[in-house]
Amino acid sequence: MLDKSFDPTAIEERWYQRWESAGYFRQQADKTPAYCIQLPPPNVTGTLHMGHAFQQTLMDALIRYHRMRGFNTNWVVGTDHAGIATQIVVERQLEEKGTSRHDLGREKFVERVWQWKQQSGSTITRQMRRLGASANWTYADTEGQKSGYFTMDAHMSRAVVEVFVRLYEEGLIYRGKRLVNWDPVLGTAVSDLEVDTEEEDGRIWELRYPGEDFSLTVATTRPETMLGDVAVAVHPQDARYRDLIGKKVQLPLTGRTIPVIADEYVDPQFGTGCVKITPGHDFNDYQVGRRHNLDPISVFTLDARVNDHAPAKYRGLERFEARKQVLADLTAQGLLVAEKPYKLRVPRSGRTGVIVEPMLTDQWFVAMETLARPALHASKTGELKFYPEHWTTTYDQWLENIQDWCISRQLWWGHQIPAWYDDAGNCYVARSEEELKKKHPGKKLRRDPDVLDTWFSSALVPFSSLGWPEKTKDQEVFLPSSVLVTGFDIIFFWVARMVMMSLHFTGKLPFRDVYINAIVRDAEGEKMSKSKGNTLDPLDLIDGIAFDALLKKSTVGLLKADHRQKVEGYIKAHFANGIPAFGTDALRFTFASLASFSRTLNFDLNRCEGYRNFCNKLWNATRFVLMNTEGKDCAQDESRPVKLSFIDRWIISRLQRVEAEVAQGFADYRFDNLAGAIYRFVWDEYCDWYVELAKLQLQDPDEAVQRGTRRTLVRTLETSLRLAHPLIPFITEELWQKVAPLAGKRVNATGDTIMLQPYPKSQPERIDEAAERDMALLKEWTVATRNLRAESKLPPGERLPLYATAQPPVSDPRLMLAALKALARLEEIRHVAQLPDSPAPVAVVGEARLMLYKEVDPAAEAERISKEIARVTGEIAKSKAKLANSSFVERAPKPVVEQERQRLAAAAELLQKLQDQLKKLRGDK
RNA sequence: GGGUGCUUAGCUCAGCGGUAGAGCGUCGCCCUUACAAGGCGAAUGUCGUAGGUUCGACCCCUACAGCACCCACCA
């Protein structure tokens, strides 16, 4: 016997273990068709957050669904070395110990990061297991840790080198001194995508540069960069300055003179129409400088201090110190014309938040244009499909305006670039140093110290995880993968680049569909952030957490007092009693239910509670079924006669419809629809109606009816469990084990799990419209009668007779009335030609009028009827107006007009009855 | 400057050319032997604003407003 309510923790522990150790998650050789999903590899040292949990729930649902449908499923998982992020973490650890990576040296430092990876690397994969992820952990698992590939393991690294070398050989990778976004804190270049520009309140200054018999005023938001100015630019057509083009001005503070140049880039309408040109520290100016053959002057060191190209006075000053000094000196010389408040866009490094400095450095780039073209083609032709579709635009537009990709990072943790230099500075790219030494014996070679952007290796995952560069069978089977489930924030970082790389190196798409999932927000739609305290840990929703523990956990590591206070406030307001344990299934069902095509997902704890209750409902329904079927004849062998009533046939029919709805939901990636369909079927149809009616049928003296009921109870439940399994794997497995034998499922060695059972498939031939019509009537009569009951304010337990002026037009009126009597808790049902002469409320159902005979309060009843009359009168007016409109009657489709006529007729009839009642009521007084 | 999405019940969201739906919340009544994590019932909306198309618009079109996000080199 099942416990009275379900305890998720116990169930979940039991099943995951068994599934994994039985090897159910693995792909199967020679089974077709294939279904493959590539997990966006999480940071190896990271922890699971709501976004992961959401994504992974959807992926696992898809994988389980297809596995049950007989696909050869392969959920390829792995972890990402996350270059910058991981290096930062370890550097912080060192900092706490009062040391630094520079003290350690590169080799020791990298060793240290590996240690940290080994130590914390399993956290996130352990958490994924708690979610029930049926991932192929042992696939591409070269390190033997059952967490898939690692982007820096030997195999994945080999693919990285191979791709780098090939692209270099094809001329698609080049090295050059370019202006790049530089993070002066990390001391590395970052790509355009890793820079976030936000509008901030700042200032703009106007500086005067004196010429011989004139002076020019330039505007700047970064006065310190004037130390590196090489020109002042004006628009060639600008009448104010046309005569000055080619003349020189003095660059204050530096003793240099610079030319006045003409360039279309200048907008004469903006500011003074004169622009200072600093090619060494501004992307626009860099282009201008190139056009005019002006060499850039770098005035900052790599940690953003003024360098030796500036006058001695400023050397060594940090950039913002230098700004103050420059401004002070310009003021002293009377060259500062104005200082105004100004809204400016400040580029900040996504990782550190520090203001990025455009810096002229040697970097490696991938030339993107030739790679982008086929990727664009794929989306244009529809070979690559986005869900929701509108993300295609985002993808297309980025590819249409693609820029070369700066792939080198001045970090230590990552794939070191396979390039070497000889003493003369010549560059050699090779697969290994050995290969190079063979080619160039005796040469002294020094390896490029830079590593590759983390996204470089991520871009290869769809094929490198399948064994590339070797030719493997898996690439034939699992490439392209079926769908990529990921967030819109990495469409550029990752999705587009995977498409480009896969097409280029394998000729195949990395995936056919891209499902862009919503961003998880808190219940109010606010971004989840540690400093607000509104983050949720998926594990806390699964296991529950007490208020104190939650508070402590949320405030740990928050240094600022006002942050702490804010977080405390939030937690007190939202989680005064902590968070109850909802269990994995409830959490998963919540995610699925909220996964519509909208851009954000506001995670509501109450929703989660509701779905926990749903799990409990399913549990208890099973309890009921088991109590009534275990040890009894459930007619599985069909040896004895079985009778199925319209009620049995109705639930079977409904089941076919839900199965179809669920299939449609999966096909459309509308997880909300399919979760809703399952929810409504289990709760609103099976539990609320079928189980209640089964209670009646189980008391039928005819054993064939009992057998039919038991069989339907069991089979419908067993099917529902399979239907729901992709969303709520644990509870369905637990219950299925008990229910399946009663449903005649032979549990054998390989199929000893719901996971590998066939997924329910809608059988249209079992849709029974007649039974559905009968059931609709039964429901209608029942609801109407229950309404009468509620309106009569009957004391509990009191049963009244129901007077009805007609029989329900169903195939089996006897059963129908018995059911009505039970469901509406009636004393009996009397058929009469005329309702009793009573002011008691009357319900109209089809042809029949129903009354629960009872003395009523005439005043209250009169009021109720008057209200009803008002409503019906309104409806009649609307209908009449419509039908009076000749163009409606002539031009609307016939059935619509007919429907309107019937509506009017029914309403008129109802109105007459209500008016009679009201008259009677008033007359009685 | 370009682009995208959103605006529907108190809250969070579905929906759709033919008289508005769900979950949660609210309000009654009920511990009816699967489930109080439950049952039965009820209330609640000029579907952002203004036009247009249509016999008919929450839905299609146009403009506007508000919110959010993405991309972009204006000093």
- Predicted ipTM of the assembly: 0.94
Element at A202 (helix H, strand E): strand A195-210
pLDDT at A377: 93
pLDDT at A925: 46
Answer whether any strand B atom is within 7 A of the Cβ of A888: yes
Cα separation, A150 vs A142, in Å, equals: 8
Whether residue A731 contacts residue A6, with contact meaning beta carbons closer than 8 Å, is answered with yes
Element at A363 (helix H, strand E): strand A357-366
Q: Residue A283 CA to nucleotide B50 C1', Å? A: 45
Answer whether any strand B atom is within 7 A of the Cβ of A630: no
Distances (CA, A) of A512 to A369, A382, A497, A517, A688: 22, 9, 15, 16, 41
Q: Residue A599 CA to nucleotide B65 C1', Å? A: 22
Chain B bases having any atom below 7 Å from a protein CB:
3-6, 11-15, 18-19, 22-25, 28-32, 34-42, 54-56, 68-75
Answer whether any strand B atom is within 7 A of the Cβ of A271: yes
Answer whether any strand B atom is within 7 A of the Cβ of A395: no
Among chain A residues 397-416, those with CB within 7 Å of any atom of strand B: 397-398, 401, 403
Q: Residue A277 CA to nucleotide B32 C1', Å? A: 85
Distances (CA, A) of A333 to A327, A330, A425, A806: 10, 5, 45, 104
Q: Which nucleotide's C1' atom has the smallest distance to the CA of A272?
A: B75
Residues β-bridged to residue A521: A527, A602
Q: Vertex A9, ends A6 and A15: CA angle to 5°?
A: 95
Answer whether any strand B atom is within 7 A of the Cβ of A909: no
Whether residue A55 contacts residue A517, with contact meaning beta carbons closer than 8 Å, is answered with yes
Contacts of A257 (CB under 8 A, 6+ apart): A248, A249, A250, A251
pLDDT at A571: 85
pTM of the model: 0.92
Instruction: Using CB atoms within 10 Å of the CB of residue A434, give its burial: 0 to 12 exposed, 13 to 18 middle, 19+ buried.
Output: exposed
Contacts of A749 (CB under 8 A, 6+ apart): none
The dihedrals phi and psi of A167, each to the nearest 5 degrees, come to: -60, -35
Which CA-bearing residue is nearest the C1' of B30?
A796
Distances (CA, A) of A784 to A844, A904, A908: 8, 21, 19
Q: Is A141 helix (H, G, I), strand (E, B) or coil?
A: coil
pLDDT at A160: 97
Cα separation, A759 vs A665, in Å, equals: 14
Residues in chain A predicted with pLDDT less than 70, given as ranges, are 746-751, 793-797, 854-857, 860, 924-925
Q: Residue A695 CA to nucleotide B29 C1', Å? A: 24
C-alpha dihedral, A310 to A315 to A320 to A322, nearest 10°:
-60
Q: Residue A147 CA to nucleotide B23 C1', Å? A: 37
Please give the DSSP secondary-structure letter assigned to residue A80.
B
Whether residue A914 contacts residue A865, with contact meaning beta carbons closer than 8 Å, is answered with yes
The two structure tokens encoding residue A730: 């644990």
Contacts of A227 (CB under 8 A, 6+ apart): A253, A254, A299, A306, A309, A310, A311, A314, A322, A326
Whether residue A624 contacts residue A4, with contact meaning beta carbons closer than 8 Å, is answered with no
Answer whether any strand B atom is within 7 A of the Cβ of A691: yes
Q: Is the peptide bond between A469 and the residue preceding it cis, with omega within 30 degrees of 0?
A: yes
pLDDT at A772: 92
pLDDT at A749: 53
Q: Is A486 helix (H, G, I), strand (E, B) or coil?
A: strand
Distances (CA, A) of A715 to A648, A652, A711: 11, 9, 6
Centroid of chain to Cα A895: 43
Cα separation, A105 vs A107, in Å, equals: 6
Answer whether any strand B atom is within 7 A of the Cβ of A783: yes
Instruction: Name residue, tokens 């089964």.
Output: A694
